[in-house]
Amino acid sequence: MNYDALAKFYDLENADFIHDLDFWVALAKASQGDVLEIGCGSGRVLQQIARAGINIVGIDNSEAMLTLARAKLDRKPELTARAKLLNADMTDFALDGKFNLIIAPFNTFMHLLTQADQIACLTCARRHLNDGGNLVLDLTNPAPAYADSNESLTLERTFRDEESNLTIQQFATTHIDRTSQQAHILWQYDAIDSQGNIKRTLLPLDLRYTFPAETSLLLEKCGFELSHLYGGYDESPLEDESERMIVVAGC
């Protein structure tokens, strides 16, 4: 997906999503060292970790997203010394130094649509992780997603763009290809002005589901050992009905 095109909607639609922030900040504090965020986007998580007094590097391949992240940090100069942003591909990055914690929040790892790309990303992560450190991936749990066969157009959320005086409705259609383990999503953003005029933007998104046993094998191949599989940010056990699959791996 071209996240440069999504950037203008991303912060607006995710403004209320704060459920995972305490989880990431707690992990960062417990790591007692520098943190790397893979796919930092517009800095939603990165900013909170820097605010907690922790040094963090964020990488992303969307310059538009990084521009948003930089703007947030610039508004809080005390954070700029603790947060560094780099344009880099998560399957092929080489950074100075190593980290005690590497994180890939909210479906970032799912943008890797082949096992080859997943292995490339994990190999880069292992190369940048200190011995005794942790890698944490936050994924959608495949079990409930595979069970849901509804492909109808669905209103996901409505939010405001106050700066442009627009009401934006976000719709989605999702097709699950169980053979390729992929979700093919079409996002539809309808921006409605005060006169009721609508400007529609369509953005396709493909994500790959990775099952627990497959995840364990991928991690082992790349030099990690699976430590925990959680079903939520409260660190509850992973179950069939869990919405999230949070993977913690050590080395």
Whether the per-residue pLDDT at 111 is higher than 80: the answer is: yes
Q: To the nearest whole percent, how much of the chain has pLDDT over 90? A: 88
Same domain, 58 and 121: yes
pLDDT 10s digits, 219-238: 999 999 999 999 999 999 99
Q: Is the pLDDT of residue 150 over 80?
A: no
50 and 168 part of one domain: no
Q: What does the pLDDT average to over 63-78?
A: 93
Does residue 16 sit in the same domain as residue 87? yes
Give the pair of three-digit tokens for residue 94. 């080489």
* Number of independent structural domains in the chain: 2
pLDDT at 147: 82
Residue 77, classified by CB atoms within 10 Å of its CB into exposed (0-12), middle (13-18) or buried (19+), is exposed
Same domain, 163 and 195: yes
3-state secondary structure of 75: coil
For residues 213 and 99, membership in a common domain is answered with yes
Strand segments (E) across 178-213: 182-192, 198-208
Question: 83 and 121: one domain?
Answer: yes
DSSP single-letter state for residue 73: H
pLDDT at position 1 is 60
Mean of per-residue pLDDT scores for the chain = 95
Predicted TM-score (pTM) of this structure: 0.95
Same domain, 191 and 102: no
Question: 136 and 18 in one domain?
Answer: yes
Q: Are residues 47 and 156 in the same domain?
A: no
State mean pLDDT over 168-172.
Answer: 96
Check whether 46 has a pLDDT greater than 90.
yes
Residue 161: beta bridge partners?
A: 166
8's tokens: 């203008």
Q: What is the pLDDT of residue 52?
A: 97
Average pLDDT over residues 46-75: 95
Boundaries of domain holding 7: 3-143+209-250
Distance of CA 84 to the CA centre of its chain: 17
CATH number of the domain that residue 42 is part of:
3.40.50.150
